[in-house]
Amino acid sequence: MTADEHLLILVLALLLDRIVGDPDWLWQRVPHPVVLFGKAISSFDSRFNAKHLPGVLRRRNGMMSIIALLMGAVIVGWAIHGLLAFFGWLGILVEAALVAVFLAQKSLADHVGEVSRALRSNGLEGGRLAVSRIVGRDPETLDEPGICRAAIESLAENFSDGVVAPALWYGIFGLPGLFFYKMLNTADSMIGHKSETYVDFGRAAARLDDIANWPAARLSILLIAVGALVKRGISALGNAIRVAVRDGGLHRSPNSGRPEAAMAGALDIQLAGPRIYGGEVVREPMINGAGRDTATVSDIEAGISIFYSACSMLTLLAFLGFLLLL
């Protein structure tokens, strides 16, 4: 397939994911591709990350493992793409459906929206339960503004690595690039954290994931800013860009802070700051410290509105690219 066909497929996939999302009835019957990626990662983890191995060896094993996993993902993506290319328009439609599986527009908005609905209908305990499904921090330590901030942060961060990054990798490198990115991103979420078990074995996966997400995190700033312009006016656009440029680097991640800061500016609220994970306090500076210090349920709903507008801008950008190449 040519570059313009890749972008056409991406547009179709973005539209399909926006409308359908991740249907539970399907994934209750067949394994999600990311689940298969996870099983492959777990297999390498159990074989090459034994506790008795010295750190240097575990680090080497981790590097070789992620290289093998990424090569395997590229080969599988290339093989599936090559097979679908024989079927013309039917192959294009099937590939669009496959790409949509790896995007997270509707599912992300639904999960974050469930937090606001739970807070409105079931109060603090309902909100804590809902937010515990999308963030890793200790929910029992969160008050209502903390729950709202956590939901908005998850929305912004996952917009970058759950929507923009897979779309970007597919748009440039096709199905092999998309499989490469999703394998790497799944590995980072499974073995890329700095626990005693994975500080060495997952080091290469974490570093590579930071590199792979760098472009999407910066593009996310512009998309959120334009989404804010559409929903909240010119001042929200300027504030989103200004806060992202100023505070995007305050986050412990080289990428996550960029879309979070843009969303904080768009909504004029404070995000990040000290948080508790597994009983341990993670102290970080407050993003947009001059913004409102109390996030509300209405801020979650406004954030989802900006998120969907940003997703529409991404789809429009892909469509314009298709027209230019055509």
pLDDT over threshold 60, residue 292: yes
As a whole number of angstroms, the distance between CA 159 and CA 273 comes to: 20
How many Cβ atoms sit within 10 Å of the Cβ of residue 116?
A: 22
pLDDT digits (tens, 9 = 90+) for 309-318: 999 999 999 9
- pLDDT band at 64; cut points 50, 70, 90: very high
Instruction: Determine contact, residues 176/198, Cβ cutoff 8 Å.
Output: no
pLDDT at 16: 96
Give the residue-averaged pLDDT of 225-235: 96
Placement of tokens 């469930």 in the chain: 114
pLDDT at 136: 75
pLDDT at 276: 64
pLDDT over threshold 70, residue 277: no
As a three-state string, the secondary structure of 115-170 is: HHHHHHHHHHHHHHHHHCCCCCCCHHHCCHHHHHHHHHHHHHHHHHHHHHHHHHHH
pLDDT at 325: 86
Tokens of 63: 């590097």
pLDDT over threshold 60, residue 279: no
Tokens of 120: 């409105």
Tokens of 306: 């900006």
Of 311, 283, 275, nearest to 106 by C-alpha is: 311
- pLDDT band at 134; cut points 50, 70, 90: confident
pTM beyond cutoff 0.85: yes
pLDDT digits (tens, 9 = 90+) for 12-32: 999 999 999 888 888 788 889
pLDDT digits (tens, 9 = 90+) for 232-241: 999 999 999 9
Give the residue-averaged pLDDT of 61-82: 96
